[in-house]
Structure 1
């Protein structure tokens, strides 16, 4: 018993400097990405034709020099369950530079998966450099909490996501306090470096009437199906594209060329990058098309499944937000209220996580929204049939026999 609490004490002490170091890396990563995004918007037509050649460079470098780091988040998950699996430090510059290039030339991708990979890589290498006996899984959880929080400055959600996402149905409670320490440290650090938060105010909330609750339940099912569709199509495309075009270099050139053409034709780059433009449009009363969520989903899946680098989280937020805007008038719900539910619920379904998305919604839009998020996300989560954007996620859910 005494050794257990001593281990937790050491892990908590270590979490503070780890959170600070990871936040410094992620602040650098995010700030450069912001500048790259602004540059791409100003020079879109000049840059987008080079998307396929840049994809060729990315895929070639990962094949030639990447080794196991091309597994991305799957490597992170596998390393958490096997102390003998090493996460090379070269993953950090590879992931950062390739994501910058993907965004610079117009690819549709996120950033949070990369920030979590950066965090997990740095934290997992603590054992290697200091010859400590800390569990690699706990260190990786700390790294994920720091990386996730650095992007959205939602420390409660970041900490819970880190201990929840590894194994469906099982939370790593041992790492929770260290993850909270790392997450809050990360938030304060990235705030110091000037990263801004996204916190729109949702002041038009529907009453808890039977008709409104019924409407929320129905759109929650739709959000869940949207998340399921995204994760399923992502998994399928990663398996099927290599069958159609077995050579990965040919694949990224051919499909990258098609991708760049679609991005030009589809509102001249509206679906390039993170998708934060769709989120901002949704919460500022600007034009959202009924097909925005579909095109953003399809182009993000295409981008990430053929070799470009980035994450899925922010695109999922934008997919859920724009879908929520479309569904709101159909079910008599306030626009921004419905968009905020979609923001968190589609991510919940796609990532196969339950508690963290509720906190994401509450920390982003206000804790007065928490009862609605609990209802919505509880439903959307159970509509995903255990599918996830994270291939390395372990599942401990068991279906009981009726006998």
Structure 2
């Protein structure tokens, strides 16, 4: 009976039942891997903070090890997020399991020795790799893409514990202008399972409830719209700079070993001289400062942007999202007094909208705002994100992202 019944996605209810059970297991596995990766990464950040002067001089040398590992053992895994997008677009068929230890270890090394990078790209790759392995046991239509989206949602949700945002991020990031709604049910189950798993296992979540008392007048709407445009331009700047710098780095130094060694030496010197590692790592120090009335310099967001771009462009591993959060939050603190907005609200709006602009996503950032800062602020976040999104130049931090022709 179940084999003949279908829901609106075109899948039989029997397949949905199988998908749901698989998604539950997938969420548990991805949550476990996310916890190990995330907790070690946080410990590494603390250790680096206490021994920064002794570790930062070796950033270029450890870069040689990263390149060696990828060139020796990487294979297709060297494409990183690019491979995930290729599989999502049916341009490649396989994601090797060796991607998991490679991306974890090389990201840990990048952070231990002071590189400026994120972590979400790793989590998404982990989730996608594990879920893609599951897809070989299912033969229904679009099973590969459904499992890929499900795994991406689980990876993002497990690390950030924002499951609703994770579901929409995974569904909208592959193709601009299109939601992979066929994966909605399994992605939701996997995302919430992964989030609950990492929370239960002690992986910390960033959350900061914002309570503001402002009326949504036409004047307030205009101010939110303008800062949304500015945040959108900042996200554009990051995405364009990353693509340009990667291209130029390869042109100037085609040899990967020379590129990461020389670039790493220059990068380590800059990071050391600029406030003794203020711009190393994830950027959570800038996020904490933004929401706890600590010192934020007017140029913090720009330096964090430039140094993250340089770190990733020369070959170090990690993601972009947490640095984008920190760039947006610190820029929001700078813009708040100029527009007469509550600093925490402006920082939160920047936190989500710079990320949204750089990734060409619209719905996920709004839900990040709700899950991290409170859903009472959703109208403000919606306005800001709308205007950040409309100025996007369609250049994304994900080179494999495609745009739906309208």
Moved over 3 A (4+): 130-134
CA deviations 1:250-275 (Å, max 9, x no partner) are 11111110000000011000000000
| 1:127 CA displacement | 3.1
Q: Kindly indicate whether the alpha-carbon contact (under 8 Å) linking 2:238 and 2:305 is maintained by their aligned counterparts in 1.
A: yes
Distance 1:343 1:174 in 2: 29
Which residue does the alignment assign to 1:69? 77
TM-score by length of 1: 0.96
Distance 2:68 2:62 in 1: 10
Which residue does the alignment assign to 1:5? 12
Which residue does the alignment assign to 2:260? 252
| 1:12 CA displacement | 1.9
Which residue does the alignment assign to 2:197? 189
Distance 2:297 2:49 in 1: 20
Distance 1:355 1:397, change over 3 A: farther
* 1:110 and 2:118 are equivalent in the alignment: yes
* 1:229 and 2:237 are equivalent in the alignment: yes
Matching of residues 51-62 of structure 1 within 5 Å:
51-62=59-70
Which residue does the alignment assign to 2:145? 137
Which residue does the alignment assign to 1:209? 217
Which residue does the alignment assign to 2:135? 127
Matching of residues 227-306 of structure 1 within 5 Å:
227-306=235-314
How many corresponding residue pairs? 397
Q: Give the counterpart of 1:15 among 23, 29, 36.
A: 23
Which residue does the alignment assign to 1:401? none
Q: Kindly indicate whether the alpha-carbon contact (under 8 Å) linking 1:27 and 1:190 is maintained by their aligned counterparts in 2.
A: yes
Distance 2:87 2:38 in 1: 25
Distance 1:315 1:397 in 2: 30
Which residue does the alignment assign to 2:394? 386
Distance 2:23 2:69 in 1: 33
Aligned-residue CA RMSD in angstroms?
1.2
Which residue does the alignment assign to 2:384? 376
Distance 1:132 1:314 in 2: 36
Which residue does the alignment assign to 2:317? 309
Distance 2:378 2:386 in 1: 12
Structure 2 portions without partners, runs of 5+ = none
Distance 1:153 1:64 in 2: 34
Secondary structure of 2:275's counterpart equals coil
TM-score by length of 2: 0.96
Distance 1:205 1:345 in 2: 21
Q: Kindly indicate whether the alpha-carbon contact (under 8 Å) linking 1:108 and 1:273 is maintained by their aligned counterparts in 2.
A: yes
| 1:60 CA displacement | 1.8
